[in-house]
Structure 1
């Protein structure tokens, strides 16, 4: 990679200043989420590091599943993305393509000594998602789906705990439970979007347990069997979220309050999934203004 600036168009003209990791700023969070990200509740000194991590994960996720690119192109882009990640970890400049993502992240890698395996796990999961979709393959059982969540979601929580200076085993387990629950909740929220795109997260073993017909699921039909299947999957996610919720009392100050809203955001989506009684196969539940009031009230009672 040639990292030297381009020659000036006129002899003696000054070269345009090149952005560096030191002064790079992560773009603001604009993507819809079920919970606050780097909000005003977040400790001010951690907003930029969290925004940089979020930008890295969100961009990789979009490479994997947004737009009309073919699977081979998505996998090639994720491989290039991984190469940029490894380059900045070695102190090298990233490629121009994702400089707005990697320059802020490089600064955070330096200042906070982020664990690289967690960042690489995210990319491993996104590549797996592309391959599963390409092959029309879902997940055999909950254990296989949990392994995906271990790499696609749990690293984000562990990275945040690293920023907060929380490293004990119990906190890590609770963080993993919250993050896995959030990933599962996103699956059950997005059934009406994912299934038509060939992305299947309802485990085959669970489908068999409830007698859910594959053709009816693919047709997004709300049958009694499908409703029972989705209700049980939502209960699984709720139980997992509740097991991790005590972590909110471990994080100091405003960080703990932001996590309360993260937990309540996930639980509120599950309320909406349950209320649809299987209808999330054709209707995507989404948080509205009133829901944030409900979440805030529940967060105060945690």
Structure 2
């Protein structure tokens, strides 16, 4: 699973009327994440670009804004924010997380405990699920909690999956007060705590989420059998029968 691959941006299961807003959110998040993460740009320049991204995002609350940079991202995003009343504060939370990533990498900082890491996930991952639920017009507290569990679990799975990639780049997500085995088991429990949400989403959206949840759990299975400090587990073609079976028989 890659960062932001749980977006149903190109899937035929995604309702046609929601493809445009989901794509607009995805492009915003992808662009900001690339600024924070890709290439060999100095941290100061990354933070400067993220600050300009934040300024452009603030303009999206206006009726007729002018975007000096990234207009290909912010013009469609502005349209969908106005059309669907998207909560802009959730997009700002994503930027908070990207800025934190830059600073932590620059300083070589590590997370002391799980609480600190989950606090990061609240801003790096959970806003995505809440934005999607907003588009599906689902906002009850139970659904929001289940969405947060799934999104945080997906973020944690990315961390444990990418240890062999992140550590050489100076990114340390495994809490100093814990170990990988304990955190993997917690991540699995967190995903299972949220998985009832698949039964709250009707039709194709529910099946889309089933695939996301079961894909994450399948990656956990693989993480538990290899050393992710040297290998990166991925979903293979032969995993498909297992995923289909698990998707069809998820308990409510």
- The alignment's TM-score, normalised by the length of structure 1, stands at 0.79
For 2:85 and 2:216, how far apart are their aligned partners in 1?
A: 29
Please tell me whether the aligned partners of residues 34 and 266 of structure 1 are also in contact (alpha carbons under 8 angstroms): no
Q: How many Å apart are 1:36 and its aligned residue? A: 5.8
Aligned to 1:17: none
1:250 to 183, 200, 205: 200
Superposed CA deviations along residues 20-68 of structure 1, whole A, max 9, x for unmatched, are: xxxxxxxxxxx77654622111111111211111111111111101111
Write out aligned runs for 1:206-221 (5 A).
206=178
Please tell me whether the aligned partners of residues 114 and 162 of structure 1 are also in contact (alpha carbons under 8 angstroms): yes
Closer/same/farther in 2, CA of residues 156 and 83 from structure 1, 3 Å limit:
same
Q: How many Å apart are 1:174 and its aligned residue? A: 0.3
Aligned to 2:235: 287
Write out aligned runs for 1:98-113 (5 A).
98-113=70-85
- Show structure 2 runs of 5+ residues with no match: none
2:50 to 70, 78, 83: 78
Quote the RMSD (CA, aligned, Å).
Answer: 1.4
- The alignment's TM-score, normalised by the length of structure 2, stands at 0.94
Q: How many Å apart are 1:232 and its aligned residue? A: 1.7
Please tell me whether the aligned partners of residues 238 and 267 of structure 1 are also in contact (alpha carbons under 8 angstroms): yes
For 1:115 and 1:32, how far apart are their aligned partners in 2?
A: 22
Tell me the secondary structure at the aligned position of residue 42 of structure 1. Answer: coil
Q: Does 1:68 align with 2:40?
A: yes
Q: Report how many aligned residue pairs link the two structures.
A: 247
Q: Does 1:152 align with 2:124?
A: yes
Aligned to 2:175: 203
Please tell me whether the aligned partners of residues 36 and 258 of structure 1 are also in contact (alpha carbons under 8 angstroms): no
Tell me the secondary structure at the aligned position of residue 283 of structure 1. Answer: coil
Aligned to 1:163: 135
For 1:157 and 1:32, how far apart are their aligned partners in 2?
A: 14
For 2:215 and 2:99, how far apart are their aligned partners in 1?
A: 27
Tell me the secondary structure at the aligned position of residue 60 of structure 2. Answer: helix
1:173 to 132, 145, 150: 145
2:26 to 31, 54, 69: 54
Write out aligned runs for 1:248-287 (5 A).
248-276=198-226, 279-287=227-235
Q: How many Å apart are 1:290 and its aligned residue? A: 2.2
Please tell me whether the aligned partners of residues 7 and 26 of structure 2 are also in contact (alpha carbons under 8 angstroms): no
Aligned to 2:244: 296
For 1:152 and 1:256, how far apart are their aligned partners in 2?
A: 23
Q: How many Å apart are 1:291 and its aligned residue? A: 2.3
Write out aligned runs for 1:114-193 (5 A).
114-193=86-165
For 1:139 and 1:80, how far apart are their aligned partners in 2?
A: 27
